[in-house]
Structure 1
Amino acid sequence: MTKTTPSCGTLLAAMRQANPLVQCITNDVAMNIAANVLLSAGASPAMVSAEEEAGEFARIAGAVTINIGTLWAGGVAGMLAAARAAKDVDKPWVLDPVAHYATGFRRRVVGELMALEPTILRGNASEIMALAGEASRGQGVDSGDSAMAARNAALTLARRHGCVVAVTGDVDFVTDGTRSATIEGGSPLMPKVTALGCALTCLVGAFAASTPDQPFEATIAALALFAVCGEDAGEQARGPGSFQTLFLDSLSALGSERLDAEARITML
């Protein structure tokens, strides 16, 4: 981070102090780990997605996160209502366009959500490249491309939609169309634990909720926290099972000073 922006540690302390309420409209697989990640990091998750209340709840939440992983017709109305409400009251909202290229249904829904101008877009390289109209090697929810391969696509989307775009992978790339950064860290065990990427989307929402006027910095801080804690847990873990427990413990225990000391961020 530069001297003119708050450090990741400062943003982590602010998020924990705020204990923001984050509306997590996520997929069925991700609900448990997403809630535990937010609780461990210092935020308050709410898995509110029904059409009858999603829009109303979005008005009181600090941020909204929407993940289309297990998409179904009955859930789309709740997603759209929450996104509209967040936009109406100027609350940050984060879109995770999981495998949006796989079916016509997904492409239509993501198009409707993108029209509601997400504050932050977080996806893997293949998802971001496909969303920008580039050829990708994605297969289902898995990326076949590196984060840096999606750099131009991320810049295109950020400028086209006026949002922050985060491409996550072995090295993460974040841009607002003008400024860009990479974040290194994490562990090879992270892709072996289901829905950690989905949980990261919710964590980005938590940081954005506590720093709504700085979505670029908030996104970097969330990704840096994930990377440092992932690396920490990976050094101790014997496999994916122990990694998940150690990762949650690290999210809870990591302090601001250590985050600033260990975060590997390069401003481009």
Structure 2
Amino acid sequence: MSATPQSATPQVSIAEAVSALDALRAARPLVQNITNYVAMTISANVLLAVGASPAMVHSEAEVDEFVAISNALVINIGTLSPDWLTGMRKAAARAVALGKPWVLDPVGCGATKFRTDFAVELSRAGPAIIRGNASEIMSLAGAAGAGGKGVDSTASSDAALAAGKALAKASGAVVAITGETDYVTDGTHVVAITGGSALMPLSTALGCALSATVAAFAAVRPPFEAAVAALAVYGAAGAAAAARVTGPGHLPAELCDALYGADAALVERYATIKTVEEVNV
């Protein structure tokens, strides 16, 4: 199973997001995660809850074989170490060679030269989707020569939109920028998605789990539509989960429960999807 080719005009709506969720649950795609130690458990649980099958496989010795049996791949550089670089490179190259979608999460890009240089290298290795917060996207775009470099970790997703569009054009990937409002762009089209909760950044690795969810949707939809659907469903589930808690401690469990039970009513209630016709960037 692989994602169908990207359409010229992305088809995005709440109904399309729910349809993508139904397709994901029917297909139960196997998603290979090369991710950080902090995120492994919550990413696996989120994938199971949404209807995918997770595999946490990063060893250089087996990535070639495992990419071949997977339906999508996510590479997350959160707890980056030199030993993992070769496995990440091999997995990305194998996914591209086999036509399998892979998602780059450039965690902490801009924090160190080592991390930033490797994020730039991976951004040029054929990811279908790059998913990051505003500061990560701004830093990656700047370091890759695609746009202004961001250094403020509190940068808004609105402030990162110009960099996101430039990064999409330079890399050929769909770029998903997450924040109070999420944006998805291919450098030409821009879609804004709302949902989620202010509690979500206070719970470790929920952003990493979102990138894994994006990869799961990329197994059943083209990259642009996959990113929009994943952000809408995840954001709706996050908002529903936050309504059930008094703080961030129990949020991951409630998020998994909300994803497991997500349906059209939940997504319609807690998320919005809007095509941005013109953006001043």
Same fold (TM over 0.5): yes
Q: How does 1:64-83 map to 2 (within 5 A)?
A: 64-83=73-92
Higher relative helix content: 1
Q: Does 1:21 align with 2:30?
A: yes
Please give the TM-score of this superposition, normalised by the length of structure 2: 0.89
2:97 aligned partner, one-letter code: D
Contact map agreement 1:9 1:260 (CA 8 A) in 2: no
- Number of positions where the alignment pairs a residue of Structure 1 with one of Structure 2: 262
Name the aligned partner's letter for residue 18 of structure 2: G
Counterparts of 1:197-212 in structure 2 under 5 Å? 197-211=207-221
1:186 aligns with 2:196: yes
Stretches (4+) displaced over 4 A: 1-6
Q: Describe the superposition over 1:24-53 as per-residue Cα deviations: whole angstroms up to 9, x where unpaired.
A: 110010000000000011000000000001
Counterpart selection for 1:224 from 206, 210, 232: 232
Tell me, what secondary structure is at the counterpart of 1:29? coil
Amino acid at match of 2:43: A
Quote the offset at 1:55 in angstroms: 2.1
User: 2-side partners of 1:205 and 1:260: how far apart?
Assistant: 22
- 8 Å CA contact 2:185–2:224 kept in 1: the answer is yes
Structure 1 position 136 matched with structure 2 position 144? no
Select 1:173's aligned residue among 183, 187, 198. 183
- 2:229 corresponds to 1:234: no
One-letter code aligned to 1:46? A
Residue 209 of structure 2 is aligned to residue 195 of structure 1:
no
Task: Give a deviation string over 1:112-143, Cα, whole Å, max 9, x none.
Answer: 2122121100001011111111232345xxxx
Deviates more, 1:198-207 or 1:127-136: 127-136
User: Measured at CA, do residues 38 and 131 of structure 1 come closer, stay the same or move farther in structure 2, by a change above 3 Å?
Assistant: same
2:104 counterpart of 1:95: yes
The Cα of 1:256 is off from its aligned counterpart by: 3.5
Deviations 1:196-230 (A, max 9, x none): 0000000000000122xx11011000000111011
Classify 1:69/1:24 alpha carbon distance in 2 versus 1 (closer, same or farther; 3 Å): same
* Paired-residue identity, %: 48
Shift of 1:187: 0.9
1:161 lines up with 2:171 in the alignment: yes
Q: Which residue of 1 aligns with 2:120?
A: 111
1:56 and 2:65 matched: yes
Structure 1 length as normaliser, TM-score? 0.93
Structure 2 equivalent of residue 259 of structure 1: 267
Paired letter, 2:231:
L
- Return the offset for 1:248: 1.0
2:251 counterpart letter in structure 1:
F
The one-letter code matched in structure 2 to 1:230 is G
Q: Secondary structure at the match of 1:238?
A: coil
Cα separation, 2, equivalents of 1:192 and 1:99: 16
- CA distance, structure 1, for counterparts of residue 13 and residue 135 of structure 2: 33
The aligned amino acid for 2:151 is R
Aligned residue among 254, 262, 269 for 1:246: 254
Give the distance between the partners of 2:267 and 2:116, measured in 1 at CA: 37
Consecutive unaligned residues of structure 2, counting only runs of 5 or more, are 1-9, 143-147, 277-281
Deviations 1:54-106 (A, max 9, x none): 12211111011000000001011111110000000010000001112111211
**How far does residue 262 in structure 1 lie from its aligned partner after superposition?**
4.1
Cα shift at 1:161: 1.3
Question: How many Å apart are 1:2 and its aligned residue?
Answer: 5.0
Indicate conservation of the 8 Å contact 1:8/1:260, yes or no: no
Which consecutive unaligned segments of at least 5 residues does structure 1 have?
none
RMSD of the alignment, in Å? 1.7
Letter of the 2:112 counterpart: T
- Distance in 2 between the 1:22 and 1:192 partners? 26
Following the alignment from structure 1 to structure 2, what is the Cα–Cα distance between the partners of residues 108 and 34? 25
In the alignment, is the contact (CA less than 8 A) between 2:13 and 2:273 conserved in 1?
Answer: no
Deviation of the 1:5 alpha carbon: 10
Give the deviation of 1:177 after TM superposition.
Answer: 1.3
